[in-house]
């Protein structure tokens, strides 16, 4: 009795214990208060670019991607979050913001419509650990200790390390094979129709009437990317900018073998620390540099193309830096932007006059040099700053006013050198040398420049971090009579400045100071800046003390103390405020005339039109400036254009009213027509995608291929409703240029592209053809069993490997507790599935069959391989045959997963590779299909099947080629084993009634959701108990048994799409699932029904096309006691009438009966038949 009690107590301790639900109250997120951070576990990055919001001083982090990365089991269902941790189940009740209990709760949650966010304190309490926010490097650090594995990912990692160590000690190395994405090169054309943004407005004001217009267009012109900006205002000259660019078409395809890109026309030059600033003019520039390359460790220049007249705000690590208005030529430049040691995440927020918004993100990581070992960056440019290409107002001759070049090289990962040359206005020539060294926690850089007269300037800088969450910089500058665009040193000059930054949970603090001296003057400066947040408001204060001493004449000294207080952010009731008060405590008027206050209010009228009201207040404005100005803007949007109304009035009597039209001009190349849209973005590229079923598996669109409609795409949120039409074509606009752009496509479950990861390189205005072949993929499932006292039980942790026919290992899987393994998403081809030899040796097992040579079928699909049955090696050390059997999969030995309710459509779903180019219609003739018997189709499949999987990446490297430039591809002839090929029957799954009905009777077919396969019936029932809910009622689960294995199935659906939609919505990541076609048992017929569900195996003896079978045929099968007549459907939809035996409990028993009878027949699953009735012998 005592032992039983101890066992029960131990069981209670080990069982998960549900904890009381903790309540979290909902708060709203603000787009103005978030960062993208990396999540680090014990110095290893486990998740990148996770949203971190700050709401009322509390940090909220996206919890779902973190739990996924840590492999923590959780369930988010309705107003409840459930987390399984070690031996506990923790539940969180998610209360709304208006809940009665909300005011008494400290912990909060939020959602942005995609992810759920929780307060970091909740995560810390749940897992008894800490989340440390490193604001310098924008990281959230989780530390658990080296040997303290509290997360599942740590347990799995330790197991993998142990297995790797075991293999290493045995001298074993497992070959790996990376999946290379399909890369689509950029394509240039002689001309494409321009696309972009157009604004036209009529204005009436106190000064008269007129028209204002602007446009930004992008297109291909003479095999270059052309960008044109025009702005015409009633009181100003036409402003224009035309730039033609050429970028490398692929990562390694450098222009002239040297450069990433070049531009000519209206260009801007690069900056240098000591010599040149950003200059604009007519010229040409060649560049090679990484996107994150920086010219110096002190300052960077940000250049972007933006709509003229829009407001632009620049933030670094969520701290406001400066604001400006986009000039009329659309070239937005932030020059001399400070960078600090660590991660610098810049955000440029663009605001249009009618509520339009856009965001540009840039990142620079200042913890290492800009170039690593062997990398180079170089620039050559020449321009004339006096001229413009369009509406040039200068009469002077064209001549280069600015020209030069730079070259930087990474000598090692810690040392970078560079040289430069610059020609400036006034025949000045400057030569430069730079060195950059990275040390632990510190960056050291030195630049020195010398002009043609021997005058020099040098700048030495140190950037670093002393305590991890702080930053400092020290700059020392010296020179003698050196003059350039950036410096003007008189006599001997020195300057020393530095700053120290640190952050707390509530604010960021900066202390700075500098000292300067030359032959004319000496100056000191000390400054302090504090910034933080209060609710949704960003607050900042700066104070600067300066002292200047003249070293000539009367040695005049001046002192001043200047301060600035700023506040910006959102207020309740859709108010937004931005205030900046500049003050001088020693002045008669403390508040300076540069102070300003801006208040914005958004209103929505009953017709869903948003009105933007803005009050600009300058408290002590002088001259002709208004003390206050009130403006109103409203816009009416349609799918094609936007109608704008704007008005303003000031205290000086100035007023204006403007009525305008804004649209985005595009072009539909499929239908050759101009399109207008508000959803597209300027300066982007478009993809012309051709999606088709690649029947010959050659990666080339040819007449035998079948165009696919309904293909969906991911990569840009605006593609949500875009699918291919009947011709398999779709136009995908809005591709972001000048960087690798990833996208993917999805058709039906059971199909895939040769690689779901596509990367395209494009330029603004590009129109790129994309060849996207689909294949019908195969899913191989199986079990590894071991014999034990006459029983077969699953062998756990057996390594099963997948090889192609070139003996290249593709994947490896470890069997689960039931001995189950699977290889999903396989392209058509020949494979070898084999138990790892190391597993057999180390575990001491052997068997007659240890693997299979598998030839996949032309329709792909799901196939369960025969179980691999092993035994322990005895004392005699004798081994079994350990052979590899050959298996060919066809339509009867695998279960197709790509399905369509229309039989004519289903006939097109096949792949049939051939050695020669086939000239035929896009689909086989129905007469041709009707002529092919089942045996002929099998023979044709075996004879023509080719090996494609072994060189998939190599063969499909040309997927971007158009039909006019198709390469010649050699298709390998099939290499089949001479041994006997075993063709076996795939199991037909029993199911429940379609579309979630309450009974499993009277179901003739459909699709089911398979949720798991178990050796132990208890485990299968536990899965049902865990998943059962209101959405997943228990009476919709069914169990199907075969070969001692129990499958958990759910529901029955009329189509695969409805099954997938249901599974995605109600199962999600709770459990892995597979939606499969099923042949379902029939209900009661008018004849006597034969029950076979508990005896799933029958012997098929005869088949005919008619139910009227001669009695003599029935009477010849006397050795089988009871005979039945069942119906099944062939692939072409015809009903076949079969004489079958009564059901038997196991496949082995059925095979034994067949062998003893001496008849020619085969053992099949009873689920393949419907309307089964007993046959009466005469």
Residue 160 is encoded by which pair of tokens? 């993998």
Residue range 276-294: mean pLDDT, rounded: 85
Residues 142 and 21 in one domain: yes
Kindly report, residue by residue over 795-809, the tens digit of the pLDDT: 878 899 999 888 999
Confidence of residue 31 (pLDDT cuts 50, 70, 90): low
Most confident segment among 92-101, 828-837, 839-848, 1063-1072 = 828-837
Kindly report, residue by residue over 570-587, the tens digit of the pLDDT: 788 778 888 888 999 888
Q: What is the CA radius of gyration of the chain?
A: 37
**Could you tell me which of 41, 50, 67, 65 has the C-alpha nearest to residue 158?**
41
Kindly report, residue by residue over 205-232, the tens digit of the pLDDT: 888 888 888 888 999 999 999 999 998 8
Confidence of residue 789 (pLDDT cuts 50, 70, 90): low
The pLDDT score that the predictor gives to residue 548 is: 92
Residue range 287-296: mean pLDDT, rounded: 81
Between these two residues, 1073 and 268, which has the higher pLDDT value? 268
The pLDDT score that the predictor gives to residue 968 is: 25
* Residues comprising the chain, all counted: 1178
The pLDDT score that the predictor gives to residue 1087 is: 31
Residue 804 inside a domain? The answer is: yes
pLDDT more than 90, % of the chain? 16
The residue out of 99, 133, 149 marking a domain boundary is 149
CATH number at residue 1013: 3.30.70.1070
Residue 1039 is encoded by which pair of tokens? 């169990």
The Cα 1055–Cα 643 span in angstroms is 44
Neighbours of 118 (CB within 10 A): 23
Residue 366 is encoded by which pair of tokens? 């200042």
The pLDDT score that the predictor gives to residue 1015 is: 61
Residue 1118 is encoded by which pair of tokens? 């006397």
Confidence of residue 677 (pLDDT cuts 50, 70, 90): low
Confidence of residue 169 (pLDDT cuts 50, 70, 90): very low
Mean of all residue pLDDT scores within the chain: 77
Residue 1018 inside a domain? The answer is: yes
The Cα 226–Cα 269 span in angstroms is 18
Query: Is-contact 860 776, C-beta < 8 A?
Result: yes
Residue 30 inside a domain? The answer is: yes
**Could you tell me which of 1037, 1082, 828, 1065 has the C-alpha nearest to residue 950?**
828
Confidence of residue 908 (pLDDT cuts 50, 70, 90): confident
- Does residue 383 have a pLDDT over 80? yes
Confidence of residue 1055 (pLDDT cuts 50, 70, 90): low
Residues 969 and 1069 in one domain: no
Residue 558 inside a domain? The answer is: no
Residues 857 and 961 in one domain: yes
Which residues span the domain enclosing 1168? 1085-1178
Residue 235 inside a domain? The answer is: no
Query: Is-contact 1022 1077, C-beta < 8 A?
Result: no
Query: Is-contact 713 928, C-beta < 8 A?
Result: no
Query: Is-contact 167 838, C-beta < 8 A?
Result: yes
Query: Is-contact 587 560, C-beta < 8 A?
Result: no
Residue 323 is encoded by which pair of tokens? 């604001």
Residues 1120 and 1169 in one domain: yes
Kindly report, residue by residue over 984-994, the tens digit of the pLDDT: 222 222 222 22
**Could you tell me which of 413, 307, 301, 429 has the C-alpha nearest to residue 358?**
307
The Cα 647–Cα 201 span in angstroms is 12
Neighbours of 396 (CB within 10 A): 10
The residue out of 1080, 1112, 1139 marking a domain boundary is 1080
Q: Is 334 helix (H, G, I), strand (E, B) or coil?
A: strand
- Does residue 432 have a pLDDT over 60? yes
pLDDT more than 70, % of the chain? 80
Residues 969 and 849 in one domain: yes
Kindly report, residue by residue over 622-640, the tens digit of the pLDDT: 666 778 889 998 888 776 7
Number of domains in the chain: 4
Residues 973 and 993 in one domain: no
Residue 360 inside a domain? The answer is: no
The pLDDT score that the predictor gives to residue 101 is: 56
Residues 841 and 927 in one domain: yes
Residues 944 and 975 in one domain: yes
Residue range 1056-1085: mean pLDDT, rounded: 65
Least confident of 271-275, 419-423, 664-668, 1113-1117: 271-275
Between these two residues, 513 and 1021, which has the higher pLDDT value? 513
Least confident of 384-393, 542-551, 676-685, 914-923: 914-923
The Cα 502–Cα 9 span in angstroms is 53
Residues 915 and 890 in one domain: yes
Pairing relationship of beta strands 1074-1078 and 415-424 according to DSSP bridges: unpaired
Kindly report, residue by residue over 1132-1162, the tens digit of the pLDDT: 556 778 888 888 877 777 877 887 787 877 7
The residue out of 1043, 1064, 1080 marking a domain boundary is 1080
The Cα 225–Cα 770 span in angstroms is 19
The pLDDT score that the predictor gives to residue 162 is: 59
Category of 168 on φ-ψ map: left (φ > 0), alpha (ψ -120 to 50) or beta: alpha
Residue range 114-121: mean pLDDT, rounded: 84
The pLDDT score that the predictor gives to residue 993 is: 25
Residues 871 and 982 in one domain: yes
Confidence of residue 100 (pLDDT cuts 50, 70, 90): low
Confidence of residue 889 (pLDDT cuts 50, 70, 90): confident
Residue 122 inside a domain? The answer is: yes
The pLDDT score that the predictor gives to residue 1001 is: 31
The pLDDT score that the predictor gives to residue 1002 is: 32
The pLDDT score that the predictor gives to residue 250 is: 83
Residue range 427-440: mean pLDDT, rounded: 91
- Does residue 188 have a pLDDT over 70? yes
The pLDDT score that the predictor gives to residue 1146 is: 74
Residues 885 and 1023 in one domain: no
The pLDDT score that the predictor gives to residue 622 is: 67
Residue range 31-46: mean pLDDT, rounded: 79
Kindly report, residue by residue over 234-279, the tens digit of the pLDDT: 777 888 999 999 998 887 888 988 999 999 999 988 767 677 777 8
Contacts of 198 (CB under 8 A, 6+ apart): 213, 214, 215, 662, 663, 664, 665
Residue 1033 inside a domain? The answer is: yes
The pLDDT score that the predictor gives to residue 27 is: 87
Residues 1016 and 1076 in one domain: yes
Residue 424 is encoded by which pair of tokens? 């400036």
- Does residue 139 have a pLDDT over 60? yes
């Amino acid at each position: 009795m005592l032992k039983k009690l101890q066992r029960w107590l131990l069981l209670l301790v080990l069982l998960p214990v549900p904890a009381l639900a903790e309540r979290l109250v909902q708060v709203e997120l603000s787009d103005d208060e978030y960062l993208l951070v990396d999540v680090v576990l014990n110095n290893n990055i486990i998740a990148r670019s996770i949203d971190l919001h700050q709401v009322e001083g509390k940090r909220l982090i996206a919890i779902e991607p973190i739990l996924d990365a840590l492999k923590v089991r959780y369930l988010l269902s309705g107003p409840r979050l459930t987390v399984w941790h070690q031996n506990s189940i923790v539940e969180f009740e998610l209360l709304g913001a208006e809940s009665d209990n909300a005011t008494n709760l400290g912990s909060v949650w939020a959602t942005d419509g995609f992810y759920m966010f929780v307060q970091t304190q909740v995560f810390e309490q749940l897992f008894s650990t800490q989340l440390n926010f490193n604001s310098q490097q924008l990281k959230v650090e989780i530390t658990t200790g080296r040997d303290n594995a509290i997360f599942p990912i740590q347990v799995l990692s330790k197991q993998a390390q142990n297995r790797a160590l075991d293999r290493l000690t045995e001298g074993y190395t497992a070959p790996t094979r990376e999946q290379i994405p399909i890369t689509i090169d950029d394509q240039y054309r002689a001309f494409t129709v321009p696309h972009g943004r157009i604004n036209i407005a009529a204005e009436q004001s106190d000064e008269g009437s007129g028209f204002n217009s602007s446009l930004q267009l992008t297109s291909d012109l003479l095999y270059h990317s052309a960008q044109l900006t025009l702005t015409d205002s009633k009181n100003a000259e036409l402003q224009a900018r035309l730039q033609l660019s050429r970028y490398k078409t692929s990562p390694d395809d450098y222009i002239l073998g040297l450069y990433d890109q070049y531009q000519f026309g209206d260009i801007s030059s690069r900056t240098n620390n000591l010599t040149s600033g950003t200059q604009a003019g007519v010229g040409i520039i060649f560049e090679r540099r990484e996107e994150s390359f920086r010219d110096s460790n002190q300052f960077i220049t940000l250049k972007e193309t933006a709509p003229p007249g829009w407001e632009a705000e620049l933030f670094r690590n969520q701290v406001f830096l400066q604001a400006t208005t986009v000039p009329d030529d659309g070239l937005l430049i932030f020059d001399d932007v400070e960078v600090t040691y660590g991660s610098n995440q810049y955000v440029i927020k663009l605001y249009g006059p009618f509520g339009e918004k856009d965001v540009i993100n840039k990142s620079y990581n200042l913890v290492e040099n800009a170039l690593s070992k062997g990398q180079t960056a170089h620039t050559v440019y020449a321009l004339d700053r006096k001229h413009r290409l369009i509406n040039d107002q200068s009469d002077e001759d064209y001549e280069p006013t600015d020209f030069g070049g730079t070259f930087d090289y990474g000598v090692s990962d810690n040392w970078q050198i560079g040289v430069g040359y610059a020609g400036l206005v006034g025949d000045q020539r400057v030569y430069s040398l730079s060195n950059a060294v990275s040390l632990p926690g510190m960056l050291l850089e030195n630049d020195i420049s010398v002009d043609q007269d021997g005058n020099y300037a040098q700048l030495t800088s140190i950037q670093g971090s002393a305590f991890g969450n702080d930053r400092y910089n020290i700059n020392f500058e010296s020179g003698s009579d050196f003059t350039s665009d950036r410096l003007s040193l008189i006599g001997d000059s020195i300057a020393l400045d530095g700053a120290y930054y640190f952050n707390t949970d509530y604010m960021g603090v900066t202390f700075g100071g500098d000292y300067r001296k030359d032959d004319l003057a000496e100056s000191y400066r000390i400054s302090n800046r504090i910034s933080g947040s209060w609710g949704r408001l960003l607050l900042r204060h700066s104070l600067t003390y300066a002292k200047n001493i003249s070293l000539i004449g009367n040695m005049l000294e001046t002192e001043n103390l200047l301060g600035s207080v700023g506040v910006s952010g959102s207020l309740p009731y859709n108010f937004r405020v931005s205030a900046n008060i500049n003050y001088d405590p020693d002045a008669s008027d403390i508040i300076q005339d540069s102070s300003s206050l801006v208040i914005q209010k958004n209103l929505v009228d009953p017709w869903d039109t948003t009105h933007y009201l803005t009050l600009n207040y300058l408290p002590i404005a002088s001259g002709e400036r208004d003390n206050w100005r009130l403006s109103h803007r409203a816009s009416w949007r349609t799918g094609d254009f936007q109608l704008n109304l704007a008005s303003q009035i000031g205290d000086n009597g100035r007023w204006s009213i403007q009525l305008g039209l804004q649209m985005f001009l595009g072009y539909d190349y499929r239908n050759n027509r101009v399109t207008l849209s508000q959803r597209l973005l300027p300066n982007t590229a478009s993809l012309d995608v051709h999606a088709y079923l690649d029947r010959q598996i050659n990666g080339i669109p040819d007449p035998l291929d079948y165009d696919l409609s309904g293909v969906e795409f991911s990569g840009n949120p605006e593609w949500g409703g875009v699918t291919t039409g009947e011709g398999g074509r779709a136009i995908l606009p809005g591709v972001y240029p000048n960087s690798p752009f990833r996208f993917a496509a999805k058709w039906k479950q059971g199909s895939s592209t040769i690689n779901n990861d596509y990367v395209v390189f494009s330029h603004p205005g590009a129109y790129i053809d994309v060849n996207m072949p689909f294949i019908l993929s195969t899913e191989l499932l199986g079990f590894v069993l071991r014999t034990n006292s006459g029983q077969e039980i699953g062998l756990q942790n057996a390594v099963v490997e997948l090889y192609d026919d070139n003996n290249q290992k593709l994947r490896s899987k470890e069997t689960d507790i039931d001995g189950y393994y699977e290889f999903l998403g396989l392209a058509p081809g020949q494979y070898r599935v084999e138990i790892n030899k190391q597993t057999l040796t180390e575990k001491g097992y052997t068997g007659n069959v240890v693997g299979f040579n598998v030839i996949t079928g032309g329709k792909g699909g799901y196939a369960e391989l025969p179980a691999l049955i092993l035994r322990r090696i005895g004392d005699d050390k004798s081994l079994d045959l350990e052979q590899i059997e050959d298996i060919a999969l066809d339509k009867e030995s695998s279960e197709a997963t790509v399905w369509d309710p229309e039989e004519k459509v289903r006939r097109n779903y096949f792949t049939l590779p051939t050695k020669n180019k086939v000239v035929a219609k896009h689909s086989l003739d129905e007469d041709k299909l009707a002529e092919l018997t089942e045996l002929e189709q099998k023979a044709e499949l075996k004879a023509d099947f080719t090996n494609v999987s072994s060189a998939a990446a190599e063969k499909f490297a040309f997927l971007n080629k158009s039909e006019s430039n198709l390469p010649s591809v050699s298709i390998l002839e099939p290499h089949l084993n001479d041994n006997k090929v075993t063709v076996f029957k795939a199991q037909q799954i029993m199911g429940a009634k379609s579309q979630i009905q309450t009974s499993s009777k009277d179901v003739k077919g459909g699709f089911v959701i398979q949720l798991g396969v178990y050796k132990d019936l208890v485990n299968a029932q536990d899965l049902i108990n865990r998943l059962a809910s209101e959405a997943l009622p228990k009476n919709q689960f069914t169990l199907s048994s075969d070969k001692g294995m129990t499958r958990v199935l759910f529901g029955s659906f009329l189509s695969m799409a409805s099954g997938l939609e249901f599974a995605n919505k109600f199962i999600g990541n709770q459990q892995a699932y597979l939606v499969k076609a099923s042949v379902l048992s029939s209900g009661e017929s008018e004849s006597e029904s034969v029950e076979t569900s508990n005896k799933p195996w029958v012997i098929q003896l005869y088949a005919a096309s008619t139910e009227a079978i001669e009695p003599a045929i029935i009477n010849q099968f006397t050795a089988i006691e009871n005979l039945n007549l069942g119906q099944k459907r062939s692939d072409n939809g015809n009903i076949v009438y079969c004489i079958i035996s009564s059901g038997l409990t196991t496949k082995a028993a059925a095979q034994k009966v067949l062998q003893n009878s001496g008849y020619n027949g085969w053992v099949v699953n009873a689920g393949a038949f419907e309307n089964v009735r007993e046959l009466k012998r005469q």
